[in-house]
């Protein structure tokens, strides 16, 4: 590790002639953990079955037309389901929904009782900060993930504080 004196930043890789290929996944994850993100649950329907997955790789892409993107690991069951459907929902979780984030990340800490509501016949997480329903426009395989870009067809917003994730743990605004 080299301390870069002018900015006070630590250089973990890439400096002093290090080959960038030497960077390991843990260092990469730790560096990205310094970027605070909101938490979403992406939902999809396969026949009569509803699937959900916790996702923090979510972003807006365009205002006109309204597009958003979610990035899903190709090893995730949800990836195969999204490839079979043409629509997904995004529920932005509120600060009181950490248990739902854990549930859909397969960290079953507590029983979750019927977390879904139906809006326009599509499942979304009940009580979320915001809801989007999106039609998949395009999917791009990149690295070990696929980025699903969806055109937003429905928006609903609730007035509450967001659930945030920073350096591997949940935090609130002002923490």
SS3 27: helix
Residue 148 neighbours by CB under 8 Å, 6+ apart: 69, 70, 71, 72, 82, 88, 136, 139
Look up the domain containing 94 and give its range. Answer: 37-167
Residues 53 and 108 in one domain: yes
Cα–Cα distance for residue pair 94/109, rounded to 1 Å: 18
- So what's the pLDDT on residue 111? 65
Number of domains present in the structure of the chain? 2
The mean pLDDT value of the chain amounts to 85
Determine the pLDDT at residue 151.
98
Whole-number pLDDT of residue 61: 97
What tens digit of pLDDT does each residue of 12-68 get? 445 544 444 556 777 877 887 888 899 999 999 988 889 999 999 999 999 999 999
Residue 151: exposure state from Cβ atoms within 10 A (0-12, 13-18, ≥19) = middle
SS3 of the chain: helix, strand, coil, percent, to 5: 15, 45, 40
> pLDDT digits over 80-104, tens only?
999 999 999 999 999 999 999 999 9
d(CA 55, CA 32): 15
Higher-pLDDT residue of 23, 166: 166
The model's pTM: 0.82
Q: Which two tokens stand for residue 141?
A: 């395989």
Based on the domain organization, do 132 and 74 belong to the same domain?
yes
């Amino acid at each position: 590790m080299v301390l870069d004196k002018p900015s006070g930043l630590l250089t973990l890789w890439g400096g002093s002639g290090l080959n960038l290929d030497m960077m390991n996944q843990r260092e990469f994850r730790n560096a990205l953990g310094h970027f605070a993100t909101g938490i979403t649950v992406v939902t999809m329907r396969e026949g009569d079955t509803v699937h959900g997955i916790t996702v923090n790789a979510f972003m807006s892409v365009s205002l006109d037309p309204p597009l958003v993107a979610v990035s899903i690991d190709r090893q995730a069951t949800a990836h195969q389901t999204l490839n079979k459907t043409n629509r997904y929902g995004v529920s932005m979780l509120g600060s009181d929904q950490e248990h739902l984030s854990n549930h859909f990340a397969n960290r079953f800490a507590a029983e979750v009782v019927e977390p879904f509501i139906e809006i326009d016949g599509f499942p979304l997480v009940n009580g979320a900060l915001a809801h989007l329903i999106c039609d998949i426009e395009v999917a791009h395989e990149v690295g070990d993930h696929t980025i699903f870009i969806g055109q937003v067809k429905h928006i609903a917003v609730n007035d509450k504080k967001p659930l945030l994730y920073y350096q591997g743990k949940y935090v609130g605004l002002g923490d």
